[in-house]
Amino acid sequence: QVQLVESGGGSVQAGGSLRLSCAAFGYTVSWSCMGWFRQAPGKEREGVAEVDAGGNTKYADSVKGRFTISRDNPKNMLYLQMNSLKPEDTAMYYCAEDRTPNCLLVVGLRAPSALGQGTQVTVSS
């Protein structure tokens, strides 16, 4: 069973940047789809970004051009660089793993095999 631990959340003003990190323990995720979800109060969880085993990425339309997902396989790490943050980006952000090399998380066709505990991102106007 993989354990995912997020870090890097915080409070920023609109237009600012944050970098989220996710460390995976107990399983080598090199051949897994990895992604980020977020959930704001009163809203459904949504897939934000994903990267497959080959390094191909996909983003939700709401974050395209502002967020960048990346992975460091030797370190078993996943990252999300968030720039030009908006108040509507405020949410709990979760690291996700799906034990398949191809990604279908953002489009909602697969549920993650594992989720972390989350890290809070708050963007003020």
Predicted confidence (pLDDT) per residue in 13-37, tens digit: 999 999 999 999 999 999 999 999 9
9 Cβ contact partners less than 8 Å away, ≥ 6 residues apart: 18, 20, 93, 119, 120, 121
> What pLDDT sits at residue 21?
98
Rounded CA gap, 64 and 12, in Å?
19
Whether 80 and 36 have beta carbons less than 8 Å apart is answered as yes
* Beta-strand relationship, 57-59 and 67-72: unpaired
Q: Is the pLDDT confidence value at 110 over 90?
A: no
> What pLDDT sits at residue 101?
83
Of residues 111 and 4, which shows the higher confidence score? 4
CA angle centred on 64, ends 36 and 58, rounded to 5°:
50
